[in-house]
Amino acid sequence: MITIDTFRRGLKKGLHVLVELGKIMLPIYVVMELLEYSGILEIISMYFVPFMSIIGLPGEAAFALIIGGALNIYASLGVLGSITLTAKQATIAATFIAISHNLIGETVVIKRIGVNPVFIMVLRILTSFAVASVMNMVL
């Protein structure tokens, strides 16, 4: 049975999570907006277009994939929230990030359990590109 106390605890935890995610996503979103308005984002994105076109994403989406790989899913959401994507592109980006997120942190854990961390990191990145490429062809 849900009581007032249960509701309060849930609300408190939910607000705490909201604040923690906001601390990650908001600054990244602001930086991406500043890069876009200054024209820097467009200049940098041009260099990523050849790779990104293979998986059906605009050059700007490379920032989300890189940040997701280096940091976490929530940081990449801050970037994705600042660019315009179609439903197909959002699905491809989300799948790529789901496979290759937090590579540094998770590689440390993988090393501790005795698996070759470089192999797993490369495997995850290649799998992300392969899955995203197939999705680009079939969606």
- Provide the H-helix boundaries in the chain: 4-38, 40-46, 49-54, 61-70, 73-80, 87-99, 103-112, 117-138
**Total domains, the chain:** 1
* Residue range(s) defining the domain that contains residue 114: 24-138
- Could you list the pLDDT tens digit for every one of the 139 residues in the chain? 778 888 899 899 989 988 887 887 788 778 878 888 898 888 888 999 999 999 999 999 999 999 899 888 988 988 898 889 999 999 999 999 999 998 988 888 888 888 999 999 999 999 999 999 999 999 9
In a domain, 13, yes or no: no
In a domain, 34, yes or no: yes
Contacts with 55 (C-beta within 8 Å, 6 or more apart), sequence order: 92, 96, 129, 132, 133, 135, 136
* pLDDT at residue 111, rounded to an integer: 87
* pLDDT at residue 74, rounded to an integer: 85
In a domain, 1, yes or no: no
In a domain, 80, yes or no: yes
* pLDDT at residue 34, rounded to an integer: 87
User: DSSP of 26-47, one letter per residue?
Assistant: HHHHHHHHHHHHHTHHHHHHHT
* pLDDT at residue 38, rounded to an integer: 92
In a domain, 40, yes or no: yes
